[in-house]
Amino acid sequence: MNKLNIHEAKTHLSAVLSRLRPGDKVLICRRNTPIAEIRALPSVSTKRRPFGLEAGKLKVPPSFFEPLPDDVLESFHAASR
């Protein structure tokens, strides 16, 4: 874990950030008292997800395609007035 005072952090922020690796931490100090912490974020996966991971797990019942009841349809029209 690195410690930097505020002036060093402001002066060398780009260099400090370029050296950070996942799991690294940098403490920002004021008069040698820690006041903030900078941590590297976990790396983002660059692998593409395969298509169709959940294929066959969702079943849409035939009733899904039936018209909505009149009272439900009326509530939509009442909301737009």
pLDDT digits (tens, 9 = 90+) for 3-14: 999 999 999 999
Domain of 16, CATH number, reads: 3.40.1620
- For residues 14-52, one letter each, b for 16 or more C-beta atoms within 10 angstroms of the residue's C-beta and e for the rest, the string is eebeeeeeeeeebbbeeeeeeeeebeeeeeeeeeeeeee
- Domain hosting residue 8, numbered range: 2-39
Tell me the mean pLDDT in the region 13-41. Answer: 91
Residue 21 within a domain = yes
pTM for this predicted structure: 0.50
Residue 30 within a domain = yes
* Number of domains, the chain: 1
Residue 6 within a domain = yes
Nearest to 37 by CA among 26, 53, 48, 29: 26
Residue 68 within a domain = no
